Structure 1
Amino acid sequence: MKKKIVVGITGASGTIYGLRLLEALAADPDVETHLVMSPWAKENLAVEATGYTEKEVKALADVVYDDRDLGASIASGSFQHDGMVIVPASMKTVAAIATGLADNLIARAADVTLKERRPLLLVPRESPFNQIHLENMLKLSRMGVEIIPPIPAFYNQPQTIDDLIDHNTMKLLDHLHLKNDYSKRWQGLAAAKQAARREVSHG
């Protein structure tokens, strides 16, 4: 049976993180993806020059919902899934989830995910965080929500922006318990030093 993963993309900067996760899930024949995009997420497709049209993004998912449709299947706890990821997650969405304000489908689906005690992953995109942001994320973390900000790693010798995005995608897939080789993993200090020496000599 396929794993069902719900993906919410909000209007925070970093739409490409959501798109790359959709690409990875679409490439996995054992995954069924359910997608919701906020209105500002759709605007960011053009603003951030992702190269994707809204139609192309929707084609990456198996099922697509309107963010205003609070009668959608994923708005009910009776819809069983294997995890929800909100990537990127705006601070407005984080606040809505933390306070139970299910005023759109992304927030409602997250609220349902929480009450049914299913995995919920948030990829918050804001900098710097103020006290409200931090308190909301701490509150959600204490409820079992996984807070996975897109912080780049450099031990894997990233060469492009794609390398940085792929590393975050790997982390999300790992936390969804989906096997993947989306990015280089830590192989130990000796291997890291050897790779660094190779980069210097080739440079």
Structure 2
Amino acid sequence: MTGAAHAGQKRVVVAITGATGAIYGVRLLDMLRRCGVATHLVVSRAGWMTLHDETGLERNALRDAASVHHDQNEVGATIASGSFLHDGMVIAPCSMKTLAAVAHGFDDNLIARAASVTLKERRKLILLARETPLTLAHLRNMTLVAEMGATVMPPLPAFYAKPDSLDAMVDYTVMRVLDQLHIEPPVAMSRWQGLSAAR
């Protein structure tokens, strides 16, 4: 799929890997579209498998949700170059394999390469890291990417928001991602008002 952002339009790179939680990437694409943000999508091979298993979505449906779609092996893609301007990259969800690749500069596919480019250009990189329990290798890789400037953001529920459904829990995390990208969520977000207000 081809496409281009309009002049002045924000652009965000969205990657989906094989970790559980593909719905986060799906919902992020939807919210970014509703915010008028152009999206460049990359899905790993394992990501496609998890996506279909967890959501039932077919490839064409997800590709149509993005402004531009790139194959994970498309090394000549625009997002593989630092000269391609964008407003941030989000890997949602981020597998521990992808985390390790980013942490150690092992650019073996377009997702890892685009993440490395985002870091070297000092742009926003957000990793919705999905694994539990965490090994020492996972923790050290998270430290490495954080030291390089990435934001490690495990998709944890905020129970103070009193979510009444799984969708509400997913939406809350995705809207927190939008906060990190300085993009106003398309719907009102429940924010912490302090204990006195909660009571």
Q: Which amino acid aligns with 2:192?
A: W
Distance 2:10 2:27 in 1: 18
- Residues 47-86 of structure 1 mapped to structure 2, 5 A cutoff: 47-48=53-54, 50-86=55-91
Check the 8 A contact 1:85/1:122 in 2, yes or no: yes
Task: Spell out structure 1 runs of 4+ moving beyond 4 A.
Answer: none
Matched residue, 2:137: 132
Percent of counterpart pairs with the same letter? 51
CA separation in 1, counterparts of 2:139 and 2:115? 18
Q: Could you tell me which residue of structure 1 aligns to residue 34 of structure 2?
A: 27
C-alpha distance in structure 2 between counterparts of 1:12 and 1:163, whole Å: 20
Q: How far, CA to CA, are the matches of 1:5 and 1:141 in structure 2?
A: 20
Q: Which residue of 2 aligns with 1:145?
A: 150
Aligned residue runs from structure 1 range 7-22, under 5 A: 7-22=14-29
Q: Letter of the aligned partner of 1:149 in structure 2?
A: P
The structure having more radius of gyration, on CA atoms, is: 1
Which stretches in structure 2 are left out of the alignment for 5+ residues? 1-7
Q: What TM-score does the superposition give when structure 1 sets the normalisation length?
A: 0.91
Question: 1:189 and 2:161 equivalent?
Answer: no
Q: Which residue of 1 aligns with 2:13?
A: 6
Deviations 1:168-194 (A, max 9, x none): 00110000000114531112223322x
Cα-to-partner distance string for 1:68-118 (whole Å, 9 max, x where unaligned): 011111001111111000000000000001110000000000011111111
Contact 2:35 2:184 in 1 (8 A): no
CA RMSD of aligned residues (A): 1.0
Number of residue equivalences: 191
Counterpart of 1:114 in structure 2: which amino acid?
Answer: L
Determine the C-alpha separation between the residues in 2 that align with 1:112 and 1:159.
Answer: 39
Pairing partner for 1:91 from 86, 96, 103: 96
